[in-house]
Amino acid sequence: MPNEKHFNGRRHRPTMQASPLSTEEAELLEQGRMDFDNGRYWHAHEAWEDLWNS
């Protein structure tokens, strides 16, 4: 059985809202995306790790 609450036959799906990214966070996200798209997976991980730790 799924571990979800049901109300009147509908699944409850919690809404999540992310905080807006700072300029520095947006740059790290984009750098990681560009590295990933160019096959530089380790570099992408490093950029995203900096973002996750910020």
pLDDT 10s digits, 5-53? 656 666 666 677 878 999 999 999 999 999 999 999 999 999 999 999 9
Domain range for 48 is: 21-54
Q: Note whether 30 and 46 are within 8 A (CB).
A: no
pLDDT of residue 16: 76
| Cα(40)–Cα(12) distance, integer angstroms | 39
The verdict on residue 12 lying in a domain is no
User: How many domains are contained in the chain?
Assistant: 1
On the question of pLDDT at 1 being above 60, the answer is no
Higher per-residue pLDDT: 54 or 4 = 54
DSSP structural state of residue 3? S
The verdict on residue 7 lying in a domain is no
Strand-pairing partners, residue 10, are 7
pLDDT of residue 5: 62
pTM, two decimals, is 0.65
